[in-house]
Amino acid sequence: MDPSEYRSLVESYKNIQVIGEQKFESYPEETKIAAFSIVDEENFDYAVTFFNFLAQIFKSDCDFGFINEELDEENLISLREGISDSEVVIFAFFVQSDVLDDDDKIIKFNNILENLSNSKKSVGVFFSPNHIPEELNIPIKINLPTMDQPSIAAAAMYLAGRKPY
């Protein structure tokens, strides 16, 4: 990693904001996680990068999946069954901010979040310089102001309690 990339990583890490009623406690590397990216076609590569970073950091089995607005109830049930042994569910939002301003989409996302977290610990990770809707039913929301590789790496490190410095 060259010095400018390292500085970008450190800056992204320092700009992490935690929003929520609960205090965030990082997850040990052995934690069984399930991670879902709420993604559009434009930001698909960012979601893949996030999954790769998580897989490198968390030593246990990790389950990953992509979610879009077209997820139906049957697929949702199948996804929930597939992550039954996970301890933590991470929801990473790789969508434009205006998607999160649509009330109908918030209702749909809340249904997905509730069904997949199913009383497990859950956290939302957002890459947005804008407002994160309070209406999203996630106890802890981690926000990074940009959607780029240093921010994605910083988010994965933060979830595992690692610091870049």
**More confident of the two residues 41 and 147:** 147
Res. 13 pLDDT band, cuts 50 70 90: very high
Residue of 66, 61, 62 whose CA lies nearest to 76: 66
Residue 136: closest CA among 161, 102, 162, 160: 102
Q: What is the pLDDT of residue 21?
A: 77
**Per-residue pLDDT tens over the stretch 81-136:** 999 999 999 999 998 777 888 899 899 999 999 999 988 999 999 998 777 888 99
Domains of the chain: 30-159 (3.40.50.10350)
Q: Which amino acid is at 134?
A: E
Residue 99, CA distances (Å) to 19, 26, 66, 105 in order:
19, 28, 16, 7
Q: Burial letters for 130-149: b for 16+ Cβ neighbours within 10 Å, e otherwise? A: eebbeebebebbbbbbbbeb
**Which tens digit of pLDDT belongs to each residue from 150-161?**
999 999 999 999
What is the model's pLDDT at position 133? 85
Q: Per-residue pLDDT tens for 15-70?
A: 999 998 778 999 999 999 999 999 888 889 999 999 999 999 998 778 999 987 77
Global pTM reads 0.93
Q: What are phi and psi of 140, to 5 degrees?
A: -135, 130
pLDDT at 39: 86
